[in-house]
């Protein structure tokens, strides 16, 4: 019998044996599937989270950085990254930097007016959770925002603080459900009335903040009508050539040190944050989750290996007469051994395929929640197949050797 026919025959015998011991086989398959599902599912979810972080935190592009009065602060579990607070960045400092920064780049200044505004149009109004941001004419470019309708603010309108507004897409859906073109309409923001000049394209949510629920006003309008003590301004810089990022940051650091009057030898009184810093910091924390997922999956697979070994040993005992008949008909030890190994491999691979399928589906529930792309961790899919093969070999070798070593005469006399 050729090798191909022998393999097919072993698989056929294995499937017949599985059908004759269906309940035990299903339980073993479920244990193996659960272990693989834990591994593939958690790693799929982690990949989905990583994709979400990279997609959203770096949406401004790899050529953007911000000047802030405090460093990043991240607190997840026992991991804490404390921020270093400095004095606020004033409007005068932000504008002076923008005027003095002559690198081939675009600099913008912005300020958050409030996060609890209510917008009204005729009888329609939003919930009091709209974020009002004061911006200059360069903000849309540095923030990676696009307009679906209308236009951007002009430098003159920003300087004079005109009553104009650019609305997020979710606000438009709330206030203008039946109006195809809201541009030119007048909306109320607090006590003020503003003319709609632009509509932002939908960007979705990023780490709990939705830009679609924000409205943009000219910078000096927010300074006048949403003023408060110690307003801290944000500075963003978009470099025209990403390869010049380090040079751009170096020049920005030197200029802003002069603006902030940092003395020679003293550390900077501000922080420069690249657009992908937060994503990289959070992604690095998922390493511990990966280790935990690996431990859970491997422990479960160890239990699966013990369960598979048990069912194979029982199968050897129950099929002793069958083994004796096969040996009496001329079957060699290797043939018997391979038959039982094939049976263990088939059971393990069925469990592996089921576990991989369920794991990918469960892991991509996170993709649905974060509205990111469907993720298939191909590395762990192939790794899952390999792991189940190893489990089959480890748990099947002892029962296979036991079956191959049975004495044919004693086997025929069994029972």
What pLDDT digit, counting tens, does each position of 297-343 carry?
A: 777 777 777 777 777 777 777 667 777 777 776 767 777 777 778 77
pLDDT band of residue 74 (cuts 50, 70, 90) is very low
Q: Looking at 102-111, 239-248, 288-297, which range is the least confident one?
A: 288-297
- CA dist 390 and 302 (Å) reads 11
Structural domain ending residue among the three candidates 225, 242, 275: 275
Q: Note the helical H segments in 101-218.
A: 139-142, 155-160, 169-175
Reply yes or no on whether the pLDDT at 18 is more than 90.
Answer: no
Domain match, 77 and 168 both? yes
Domain match, 117 and 102 both? yes
pLDDT band of residue 6 (cuts 50, 70, 90) is low
Question: Which residue is listed with tokens 């949406």?
Answer: 59
Domain match, 183 and 119 both? yes
Domain match, 71 and 37 both? no
**Cβ-based neighbour number of residue 200 at 10 Å:** 25
Q: Looking at 5-9, 29-33, 388-392, which range is the least confident one?
A: 5-9
Domain match, 42 and 89 both? no
- pLDDT of the residue at 368: 75
Reply yes or no on whether the pLDDT at 80 is more than 70.
Answer: no
Across residues 10-16, what is the average pLDDT? 71
pLDDT band of residue 93 (cuts 50, 70, 90) is very high
What are the Cα distances from residue 131, in Å, to 118, 186, 214, 308, 333? 9, 18, 5, 58, 76
Which region, left, alpha or beta, applies to residue 215 given φ > 0 means left and ψ of -120 to 50 means alpha? beta
Domain match, 285 and 378 both? yes
Query: What 8-state DSSP symbol labels residue 212?
Result: G
Structural domain ending residue among the three candidates 254, 275, 296: 275
Q: What does R_g of the chain's alpha carbons equal in angstroms?
A: 33
Structural domain ending residue among the three candidates 275, 296, 317: 275
Domain match, 399 and 270 both? no
Contact (Cβ atoms closer than 8 angstroms) between residue 403 and residue 14: no
Domain match, 313 and 207 both? no
- CA dist 314 and 318 (Å) reads 6
- CA dist 222 and 214 (Å) reads 14
- CA dist 42 and 367 (Å) reads 12
- pLDDT of the residue at 344: 80
Domain match, 191 and 217 both? yes
Give the residue, 326 or 101, on which the prediction is more confident.
101
Residue 388 is part of which domain span? Answer: 3-56+281-412
Closest of 30, 28, 36 to residue 384, by C-alpha: 36
**Domain count across the chain:** 2
Q: Is 128 exposed, middle or buried (0-12, 13-18, 19+ CB in 10 A)?
A: exposed
Domain match, 103 and 234 both? yes
- pLDDT of the residue at 209: 46
Give the residue, 155 or 308, on which the prediction is more confident.
155
- pLDDT of the residue at 286: 64
């Amino acid at each position: 019998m050729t090798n191909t026919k022998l393999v097919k025959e072993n698989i056929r015998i294995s499937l017949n044996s599985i059908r004759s011991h269906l309940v035990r086989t299903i339980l073993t398959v479920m244990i193996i599937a659960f272990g693989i599902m834990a591994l593939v599912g958690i790693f799929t979810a982690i990949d989905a989270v990583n994709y979400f972080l990279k997609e959203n935190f770096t949406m401004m592009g790899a050529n953007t950085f911000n000047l802030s009065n405090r460093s990043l602060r991240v607190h997840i579990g026992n991991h804490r990254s404390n921020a270093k607070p400095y004095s606020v960045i004033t409007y005068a400092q932000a504008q002076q930097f923008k005027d003095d920064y002559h690198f081939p780049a675009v600099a913008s200044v912005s300020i958050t007016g409030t996060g609890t505004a209510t917008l009204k149009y005729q009888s329609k109004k939003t919930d009091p959770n709209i974020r009002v941001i004061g911006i200059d004419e360069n903000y849309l470019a540095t923030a990676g925002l696009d307009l679906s309708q209308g236009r951007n603010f002009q430098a003159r309108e920003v300087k004079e603080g005109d009553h104009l507004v650019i609305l997020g897409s979710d606000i438009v859906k709330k206030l203008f459900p039946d109006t195809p073109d809201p541009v030119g309409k007048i909306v109320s923001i607090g006590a003020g009335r503003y003319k709609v000049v632009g509509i932002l394209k939908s960007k979705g949510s990023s780490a709990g903040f939705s830009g679609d629920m924000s409205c943009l006003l000219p910078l000096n309008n927010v300074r006048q009508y949403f003023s408060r003590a110690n307003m801290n301004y944000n500075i963003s810089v978009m470099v025209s050539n990403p390869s010049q990022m380090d040079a751009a940051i170096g020049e920005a650091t030197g200029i802003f040190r002069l603006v902030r009057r940092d003395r020679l030898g003293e550390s900077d009184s501000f922080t420069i944050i690249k657009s992908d810093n937060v994503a990289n910091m959070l992604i690095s924390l998922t390493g511990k989750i990966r280790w935990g997922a690996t431990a859970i999956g491997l422990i479960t697979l160890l239990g699966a290996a013990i369960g598979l070994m048990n069912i194979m040993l029982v199968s050897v005992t129950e099929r002793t007469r069958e083994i004796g008949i096969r040996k009496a008909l001329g079957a060699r030890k290797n043939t018997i051994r391979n038959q039982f190994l094939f049976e263990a491999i088939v059971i393990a691979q069925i469990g592996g395929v089921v576990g991989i399928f369920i794991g990918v589906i469960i892991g991509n529930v996170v993709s649905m929640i974060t509205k990111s792309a469907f993720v298939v961790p191909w590395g762990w899919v192939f790794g899952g197949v390999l792991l189940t093969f190893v489990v089959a070999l480890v748990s099947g070798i002892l029962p296979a050797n036991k079956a191959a070593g049975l004495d044919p005469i004693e086997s025929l006399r069994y029972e």
